[in-house]
A and B are shown apart, each in its own frame.
Chain A
Amino acid sequence: MDGNDFAPALTRRHFIVTAVTAAGGLALGIGMAPRLAQAAAVTAQPWDEGGYDPHEIDAWIAIDPDDSVLIRYQRSEMGQGSMTALPMIISEELQCDWSKVRVEYASPNRNIRENKVYGDMFSNGSRSVRASRQKMQQVGASARERLIAAAAARWNVPAPECTAASSVVTHAGSGRTLRYGELAADAAKITLASEPAIKTPDKFTFIGKPMPRIDVPPKVDGSAKFGIDAQLPDMVFAAIVACPVAGGTLKSVDESPVAGAPGVLKVVRLPDAVAVVATGSYWRAKQALAKLQPEWDVGPAGDIDSAQLSSAFRAALDGPAQTARNSGDVDKAMQGAAKTFEAIYETPYLSHSPMEPMNATVHLQPDRLDVWFGTQDALEATEKAAHWSGLKPEQVFVHNAFLGGGFGRRDASDEVEQAIAIAKAVQRPVKLIWTREEDTRHDKFRPHALVRFKAGVGSDGVPTAWSMRVVTSSILASAKITFPGLKGPEPMATAGLSNNGYNVPNTRVDVVLKNTHLPVWFWRAPGANQHVFAIESFLDEIAAAGGHDPYQLRRKLLAGRPDWLKVLDTAAEKGDWGKPLAPGRGRGIAICEDTDSLCAQVAEVTVSPRGQVKVDRVTVAIDTRYVVNPLTIAEQMEGGLIYGLSAALYGKLTIRNGAVVEGNFDTYRMVRLAQAPKIDVHLVPGGGEKWGGAGEPSTPPIGGAVANAIFAATGKRVRSLPIMDHDLSSGSA
């Protein structure tokens, strides 16, 4: 998938004469003083009523008489910082005063009613910046030129004699000035003869500066609203439990245990779940639900466990495969190799586990549906909600909130489908919240995967041929989506393998897609998050066997790829590669390409005699090609790495009787402060044709870097995750 093919043409929108307030809006009683003092700010709350403003220049920008600028943001803020980055891009071209910028979510309903004026609205694949930046530049440049044209008309001078800077238009000859706030109403009526050119990256003066994220202030005082925080008059609460085995159905449930329980309004039967609805508090619904003992028809998957799944994946290794990459002649080169290697790497199912459990609040009326929740795709959610409610998309108002973590999970809207069904049953506004256990067990999971590597090396220990054969599940089939124009296997299935940067003349990557009863989904850096651990570990095996330094062997195989080398060298140098370490400590290195960015990491670990692993320090080098906000990119490197580290050290879902065993954070363990390494991030943007992503590329390398560091410290090779399942003790404990 490529985020750079966006056509820069911008549909011209004319001024909305009157602010249209949608009928039937709900009073939310939510407010927050605007924070305009020092920096750009996020507006009161994301869930505006209809997405209109009386001072609009177009659907994207409104400028008040006091010069404050309202910018609409069509993506989803889940911590990745694009709610700051996209307005920065608009501001670069608009030449407005950043301290006067406010940002709010664009309305998906307006998008539908106004012919997709905001375009697509998804936030996935680390694409918010790279898929939007040309359009954001065009939005800013168009508004700027219309403000200039309005001033030129006021002064009766040619527009080219005027310039715009810091929210002021100046006429060079006369020195006259007009503020944006004085020009906005006129600018709104102006149609440009042609769209202005946008800046090339070398002309950026604001893009590239480290800017504090605009969503941080409301996130330190409790005022930031997440989906779970929606409060409606007359709202009731729902707790839900789905059939423990995915694909199973509800047979029956005896309601008598909750008779007379406080506040219980109704037991709602869904095809594959039971919900209890209560007044007053979610706790009442949750407590009552716990009293029920639903009978499930678990279906044919009801006797499947992890060992069976692992065996089935191994058995599928020699099944019919699709080829993702094939260069040279691997079989022939293997025959001539001085030595061959083979190893299988295995990574388990995982849940996304965002801190905010799945939830949705819906108010369903005969001719209107309002949904409050956090979604990575408010437009698709609107269309799906219309389908589930039987209303037209223009009757559906999705009020996107701040997302309490996304990581790919908030992209399916399955919680909305449930909430609509419950609302139909109770005929009242309802807030559905999943328990943590429900969130873990009824995720759409990171797939289980195997990679079987075979490699042939020359007498110098350098590989001349390698093949990689993956067994994993199809995310596209599970998500029931297609990538238009896709040739070959779905890219997630071999991500990190088929796009490895190493110059091994004979390379083959095949994939066998084996689907199970467990739904699988996009999980931060899909495919790469598990396959990079595998390939970077296997390459380390080759290096060790041939007596090569792992860093130097990578350098040799990346010869002629200066962008890869720069990232690798930066991580190695800043990470003190080669400097002596005490016994029991080790360094490992890994590199990958992901979302058109390059990321290398050097991990430094200590392994105790009892085999306990502590990751002390990680050095990151990242080439996103271009940088909008270096502060956010550094944050994404830090956070993405920790996300991958939890998976590498602890992440595993166990399947027993077809169901996920782990439920809460006591059994599904996460990295906390005490396990978090010291992290240093180095940005080395290399420019070029494509823009790279930032939200995902630091997740894939960490598992390999840590596993390789463990090998350096102990001589023990980790070929499956999580690391906690391996005995790394040195026998002296």
Chain B
Amino acid sequence: MITLTVNGTQHELTLEPDTPLLWALRDEVGLTGTKFGCGIAQCGACTVHINGVAMRSCSVPIASLQGASVTTIEGLSPDAKHPVQQAWIAEDVPQCGYCQSGQIMATAAFLKTHPAPTDAEIDANITNICRCGTYERLRRAIHRAADMMKA
């Protein structure tokens, strides 16, 4: 039995230890905001924070997470008012929206280590795939969120 904390609530997981965190979150914890896109850590749709670090949850077995603290898109902020979420709304970023939980979680973690990111730093660190091609607005929203967090 793996015990971990998800969005501040403790959960005891009954799934096999090799189960990726993605499927434990979606199928056992019941949080579906974290998405399945590729299963091989390529696309980033499943990005969550594990002990504050952005990770692609499709490739993290729960066996490695005993006692860990996980934050998903549902727990990023209590009222969906995290600066990244506000910036996403202000720039009207999502189209289909399927990848955006991952994009937002990747960005929220990235801005903690890069509070004033350059475009090159964004390119090197935000590598999630968006098939709708929202990159133009996504880049603007990252800069906007950085500005909001500075203010």
Contact = CB atoms under 8 A, between A and B. Distances in A.
A355 B85 contact: no
B23 to A, nearest CB: 4
A36 to B, nearest CB: 15
A224 B31 CA distance: 12
Contact of B27 (A81, A280, A642): A280
Interface in A191-230: 212-213, 215-226, 228-229
Chain B CB within 10 Å, residue with most, of A224, A406, A679: A224
Interface stretch (A363-371, A493-501, A665-673): A665-673
Contacts of B14: 280
B85 A221 contact: yes
A322 interface: no
B80 interface: yes
Nearest to A283: B23
Contacts of B134: 635, 638-639
Given A282-B27, A666-B40, A224 B131 contact: no
B7 to A, nearest CB: 10
Contacts of A665: 37-38, 40, 42-43, 129
Contacts of B74: 221-223
B122 interface: yes
Interface string A69-109: 00000000011110000000000000000000000000000
Chain A CB within 10 Å, residue with most, of B15, B33, B88, B98: B98
Contact of A638 (B34, B36, B136): B136
Contacts of A405: 96, 98, 131-132
A640 B39 contact: no
B39 A280 contact: no
A435 interface: yes
B89 A216 contact: yes
A212 B18 CA distance: 42
Given A672-B128, A674-B124, 4 more contacts: A79-B97, A221-B33, A436-B37, A638-B133
A220 B82 CA distance: 10
B30 interface: yes
Nearest to B95: A79
A677 to B, nearest CB: 8
Interface of A: 78-81, 212-213, 215-226, 228-229, 231, 237, 262, 280-284, 286-287, 353-357, 402-407, 433, 435-436, 631, 635, 638-643, 645-646, 664-666, 670-674, 676, 678-679
Chain A CB within 10 Å, residue with most, of B18, B92, B99, B126: B92
Contacts of A212: 89, 92
Given A217-B80, A217-B89, A284-B16, A676 B24 contact: no
Chain A CB within 10 Å, residue with most, of B39, B43, B94, B137: B94
A664 B124 CA distance: 21
Contact of B96 (A78, A642, A673, A676): A78
Given A220-B89, A228-B36, A283 B20 contact: yes
B98 A223 contact: no
B64 interface: no
Interface of B: 14-16, 18-20, 23-24, 26-28, 30-40, 42-43, 45, 72-74, 76, 80, 85, 88-89, 92-101, 104, 122-124, 126-139
Contacts of B27: 237, 280-283
A216 B90 CA distance: 10
A583 B134 CA distance: 30
Nearest to A223: B33
A678 B139 CA distance: 10
A262 B98 contact: no
A646 B20 CA distance: 29
Secondary structure at chain A's binding surface: helix, strand, loop or mixed?
loop
Given A217-B80, A222-B32, A280 B94 contact: no
B131 A670 contact: yes
Ranked nearest first, the 7 interchain pairs of A and B with the lowest CB-CB distance are A222-B33, A642-B133, A79-B95, A219-B97, A404-B98, A79-B96, A676-B135
Contact of B133 (A81, A220, A643): A643
Contact of A222 (B31, B39, B92, B137): B31
Contact of B100 (A219, A228, A353, A679): A219
Nearest to B88: A220
A638 B133 CA distance: 7
B58 to A, nearest CB: 10
Contact of A640 (B101, B130, B133): B133
Contact of B131 (A237, A280, A281, A353): A353
Contact of B97 (A224, A282, A284): A224
A78 B132 CA distance: 9
A673 B28 contact: no
A673 B28 CA distance: 33
B122 A673 contact: yes
A605 B126 CA distance: 22
A631 B137 CA distance: 11
Contacts of A433: 36
Contacts of B34: 222
Contacts of A640: 133
15 contacts: A79-B94, A216-B97, A217-B89, A228-B32, A280-B27, A281-B27, A356-B35, A357-B36, A638-B133, A638-B134, A643-B132, A664-B42, A666-B42, A674-B127, A676-B136
B16 A228 contact: no
A671 B89 contact: no
Chain A CB within 10 Å, residue with most, of B33, B72, B126: B33
A212 B88 CA distance: 11
B136 A678 contact: yes
Contacts of B33: 221-223
